[in-house]
């Protein structure tokens, strides 16, 4: 009888927990139920896709942990929940139901718990749950919250990162002035990308007993430097050695003017027993980031750039023998970038991803033979990987499909889709054909151009056509499924999209990428015109209805083409574009970028590269502007300051050129809030439809 009562109570408790979970779930942002009026992509449909990320394979290699983010237009925010699924694609389970996002989720080394960060308690703290989603438990209570964490392999310690306030040098001057809003600076870099620099990130470690963490120790020991590196560096820049005795961290030990002029970051080893710090990449002058250790503890691999000040240098795979100290470039004969490094369990191979000819694929480096094999093919991007026995669990997307998880066989590169997060929505949509074309540039080079056709394309009709000008200016133009510059959404609105891999794009060798530095106005502009001119010859392209659109360096291209297009285009759109190069040099924050890509400051009259750059600044051609232009900018963009867009708009109006200025006071170099994103899309297509249809 007692046994029956216990079972009955367990059933009641389970029912109660399920009811609580359901009630909590109704407060969260979940998968939307969207029914489309037709089979064409809309901005609302784009924002209804679930965004899959952060796959982590369990220690036994059987289960994949991952997150899915959904966005609510009405609430103007997103929410991320955790899920698990078998590596075979079976047993999908939602693990969390919370109005606060869960992120940075990992398996505990013993596989008995899943840990993640969440602000459900008010500040971002470390939580653990059972693999089935039960028994949620808060592990940390760190003042101010934490930003990332990693278990030590032996599970006795945890490292974590958090923000540390910068020492206030002028605090006494503000005494008795509690309402004063002024900031007093005496050095660079006082703001970065989208925030004023009031703190820097530090790495800490602490003891862990399976229930909580305590007694935090700052391994940078109060140094005024940051680790990981902002704005894009995360916990991948910090790691444990396999013996749990050393923490490796990425840091650029420079401040102020020196920090804004240099990209020289290094990897440091902090020994927990002695408290000593060693710079293991000393003398290597570019970015050195993201250390990963072989399971046998003999090697460290990391991503390394060679030249100081060049943020788009080749991202090399470097390996260090920890016993001898020998370092070598594993990609010295591989004219591509390497990222997302992953060791094989036997320490004989390193898997990584790399872009080549408009796609990201998976590669494998053999330590013994020194050779690199390409494992995958196809018109899609593999962007992150984790190991599960003889499989790689990878995120994959394309221009026609948002990210899902795939199980890739290491033996032959064949792939099986294991998550179908957006299956119902995708089944309602017809995507346009994506085509690769090779074209001859003005100087006889071969250039890959991606063409995206409207759904239900009819070659007997004529279509307005958009030249897509890529930002960067370096970096890949690949198969990314973008949530603002979405090629399929543009095509669904009745436009053919022409996306050339012009000079400066990665994936075509380092020499091709470097040809844009100091020459934004030259070969790359010729490449743009080659692409649009070649497509304009097609009978289905309406050569009288051509437009050019782009953001950042793509916005520069739009501003430049507006004054140098010889009547080709009938409409322009520039988002966060560079208009006045001289102003840009003194407005932006990462001066290494300006000095490398522009050649230096405009006051160096004997600097031929710099003088050529500034002589061709887009604002120098505004007297030629005569074509309608939409300009978009965010005030929190400290990379390309919003006055660049404002002055371009003012110039257009003073020139009596039809113009509009869409200004976001609360967005940065991107547009991240759902309602602002929808407004962006509505204004974008309203402008194009007005002038090209």
Task: Give catalytic residue positions.
Answer: 552, 637, 669
Contact of 122 with 155, CB cutoff 8 Å: no
DSSP reduced 3-state for 365 = strand
In angstroms, the CA 485 to CA 243 distance is 45
In angstroms, the CA 602 to CA 584 distance is 11
The closest of 505, 507, 501, 513 to 336, measured between CA atoms, is 507
Tokens of 33: 């139920």
Contact of 56 with 36, CB cutoff 8 Å: no
Please work out, in degrees rounded to the nearest 5, the angle formed at the alpha carbon of residue 72 by the alpha carbons of 69 and 77: 75
Sort 8 into a burial class: Cβ within 10 Å, 0-12 / 13-18 / 19+. exposed
In angstroms, the CA 336 to CA 191 distance is 32
Q: Please enumerate in sequence order all residues whose Cβ is within 8 A of that of 338, keeping only pairs 6 or more positions apart, or say none.
A: 303, 315, 316, 317, 330, 331, 352, 353, 354, 363
Contact of 504 with 515, CB cutoff 8 Å: yes
Helix or strand (DSSP H, E) at 129: strand 125-129
Q: Please enumerate in sequence order all residues whose Cβ is within 8 A of that of 500, keeping only pairs 6 or more positions apart, or say none.
A: 439, 447, 448, 449, 450, 467, 477, 527, 528, 530, 531
Contact of 379 with 359, CB cutoff 8 Å: yes
In angstroms, the CA 681 to CA 43 distance is 7
Radius of gyration of the chain (CA): 26
Contact of 418 with 396, CB cutoff 8 Å: no
The 3-class SS string of 204-244 reads: EEEEECCCCEEEEEECCCCCCCCCCCCCCCCHHHEEECCCC
In angstroms, the CA 288 to CA 251 distance is 9
Residue tagged 């290699």 (tokens): 61
The 3-class SS string of 81-97 reads: EEEEEECCCCCCEECCC
Could you list the beta-strand ranges (E) of 310-459. 316-321, 327-329, 339-343, 349-356, 359-366, 372-374, 381-388, 391-398, 401-409, 415-417, 434-440, 446-452
In angstroms, the CA 639 to CA 457 distance is 39
The closest of 522, 511, 629 to 579, measured between CA atoms, is 629
Contact of 587 with 641, CB cutoff 8 Å: yes
User: Parallel, antiparallel, or unpaired: how do β-strands 629-634 and 659-664 relate?
Assistant: parallel
| DSSP letter for each residue of 514-553 | HTTTT-TTTHHHHHHHHHHHHHHTSTTEEEEEEEEEEETH
């Amino acid at each position: 009888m007692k046994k029956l009562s216990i079972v009955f109570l367990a059933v009641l408790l389970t029912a109660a927990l399920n009811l609580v979970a359901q009630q909590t779930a109704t407060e969260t942002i979940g998968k939307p139920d969207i029914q489309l009026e037709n089979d064409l992509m809309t901005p609302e449909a784009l924002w209804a896709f679930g965004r899959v990320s952060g796959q982590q394979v369990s220690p036994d290699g059987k289960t994949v942990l991952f997150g899915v983010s959904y966005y609510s237009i009405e609430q103007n925010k997103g929410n991320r929940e955790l899920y698990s699924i078998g590596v075979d694609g079976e047993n999908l389970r939602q693990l969390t139901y919370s109005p606060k996002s869960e992120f940075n989720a990992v398996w505990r080394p013993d596989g008995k718990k899943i840990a993640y960060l969440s602000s459900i308690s008010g500040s971002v703290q470390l939580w653990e749950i059972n693999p089935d989603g039960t028994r949620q438990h808060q592990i940390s209570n760190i003042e101010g919250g934490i930003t990332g964490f990693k278990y030590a392999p032996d599970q006795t310690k945890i490292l974590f990162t958090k923000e540390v306030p910068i020492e206030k040098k002028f605090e006494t001057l503000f005494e008795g002035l509690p309402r004063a809003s002024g900031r007093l600076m005496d050095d660079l870099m006082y703001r970065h990308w989208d925030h004023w620099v009031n703190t820097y990130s530090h790495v800490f470690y602490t003891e862990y007993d399976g229930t909580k963490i305590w007694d935090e120790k700052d391994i940078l020991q109060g140094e005024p430097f940051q680790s990981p590196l902002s704005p894009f560096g995360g916990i991948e820049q910090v790691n444990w050695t396999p013996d749990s005795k050393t923490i490796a961290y990425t840091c650029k030990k420079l401040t102020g003017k020196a920090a804004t002029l240099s990209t020289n970051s290094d990897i440091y080893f902090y020994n927990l027993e002695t408290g000593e710090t060693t710079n293991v990449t000393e003398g290597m002058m570019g970015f050195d980031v993201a250390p990963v250790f072989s399971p046998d503890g003999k090697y460290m691999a990391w991503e390394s750039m060679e030249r100081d000040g060049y943020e788009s240098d080749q991202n090399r795979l470097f390996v260090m023998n920890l016993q001898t100290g020998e370092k070598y470039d594993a990609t010295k004969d591989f004219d591509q970038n390497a990222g997302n490094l992953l060791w094989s369990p036997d320490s004989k191979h390193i898997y990584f991803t790399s872009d080549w000819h408009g796609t990201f694929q998976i590669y494998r480096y053999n330590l013994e033979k020194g050779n690199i094999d390409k494992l995958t093919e196809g018109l899609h991007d593999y962007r992150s990987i984790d190991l599960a026995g003889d499989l790689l669990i990878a995120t994959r997307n394309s221009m026609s499909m948002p990210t899902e998880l795939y199980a890739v066989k290491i033996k032959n590169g064949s792939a099986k889709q294991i998550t179908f997060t957006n299956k119902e929505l995708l089944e309602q949509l017809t995507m346009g054909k994506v085509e690769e074309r090779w074209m001859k540039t003005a100087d006889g080079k071969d250039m890959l151009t991606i063409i995206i056709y409207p759904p239900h394309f009819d070659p007997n009709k004529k279509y307005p056509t958009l030249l897509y000008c890529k930002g960067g200016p370096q970096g890949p133009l690949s198969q990314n499924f973008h949530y603002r510059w979405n090629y399929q959404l543009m095509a669904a609105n009745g436009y053919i999209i022409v996306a050339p891999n012009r000079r400066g794009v990665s994936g075509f060798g380092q020499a091709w990428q470097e040809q844009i530095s100091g020459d934004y106005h030259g070969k790359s502009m010729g490449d743009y015109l080659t692409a649009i001119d070649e497509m304009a010859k097609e009978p289905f392209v309406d050569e009288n209805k051509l437009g050019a659109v782009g953001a950042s360096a793509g916005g520069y291209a739009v501003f430049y083409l507006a004054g140098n297009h010889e009547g080709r285009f009938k409409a322009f759109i520039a988002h966060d574009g560079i208009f006045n190069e001289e102003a840009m040099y003194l407005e932006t924050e990462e001066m290494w970028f300006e000095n490398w890509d522009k050649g230096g400051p405009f006051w160096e009259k004997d600097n031929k590269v710099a003088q050529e750059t500034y002589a061709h600044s887009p604002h120098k051609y505004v007297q030629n502007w005569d074509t309608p232009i939409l300009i978009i900018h965010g005030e929190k963009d400290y990379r390309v300051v919003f006055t660049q867009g404002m002055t371009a708009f003012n110039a257009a109006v003073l020139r009596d050129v039809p113009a509009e200025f869409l200004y976001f006071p609360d967005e940065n170099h991107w547009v991240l809030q759902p309602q602002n994103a929808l407004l962006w899309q509505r204004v974008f297509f309203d402008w194009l439809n007005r002038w090209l249809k």
